[in-house]
């Protein structure tokens, strides 16, 4: 059953995904990108940046009362982060599923953190947790002109749009 173009367009979402300094240093960039790419999601923006501590504090502002906040922001700003925007139907929620639970001890095998990380303070990847945070995080990390708009050749096969 083919989906029509409008229904497909209405369900398209974008999410912010970042490989943290531990994931970059451990050589896991291609492994992680491959999982999003093979699923059928589309990469629309990507850059390698070392955030400042104050930028990290902005990114994690929701957690500023938590005891691990300062160490977390020091860590995020300690080296290059691979910042990305991925697009697809349901990508915000499903991206979190691909990533797995926050604590890798509790992440299911088959998830990124379950397969590739061991402790919560070094869980290698970030993903937006909802539509509002996705919008805010994309705006924080990327300028509008850094976001690409293109039709992937795969789209008609991934979604069955006519």
What is the nearest approach in angstroms of Mg ion to the Cβ of residue 121?
A: 14
Active site residue 59: no
Using the rule CB under 6 A, is 59 a contact of ligand UDP?
no
Using the rule CB under 6 A, is 157 a contact of ligand UDP?
no
Residue ranges for the known binding site for ATP are: 20, 68, 96, 102, 113, 123
Using the rule CB under 6 A, is 79 a contact of ligand UDP?
no
Determine which one of 8, 59, 61, 126 is catalytic. Answer: 126
Distance CA(75)–CA(28), nearest Å, equals 17
Which residues contact ligand UDP by CB under 6 A? 63, 68, 72, 102, 120-121, 123, 126, 129
Catalytic residues: 126
């Amino acid at each position: 059953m083919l989906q029509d173009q409008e229904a497909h367009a209405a369900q398209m979402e974008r999410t912010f995904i970042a490989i943290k300094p531990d994931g970059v240093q451990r050589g896991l960039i291609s492994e992680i990108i491959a999982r999003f790419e093979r699923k059928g999601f589309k990469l629309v923006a990507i850059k390698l940046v070392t955030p400042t501590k104050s930028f990290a504090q902005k990114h994690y502002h929701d957690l500023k009362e938590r005891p691990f906040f300062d160490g977390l922001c020091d860590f995020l700003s300690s080296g290059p982060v691979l910042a990305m925007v991925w697009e697809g139907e349901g990508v915000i929620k499903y991206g979190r599923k691909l990533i797995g639970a926050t604590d890798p001890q509790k992440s299911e095998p088959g998830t990124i953190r379950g397969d590739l990380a061991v402790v919560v303070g070094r869980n290698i990847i970030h993903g937006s947790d909802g539509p509002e945070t996705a919008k805010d995080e994309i705006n924080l990390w990327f300028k509008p002109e850094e976001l690409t708009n293109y039709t992937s050749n795969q789209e008609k096969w991934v979604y069955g749009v006519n």
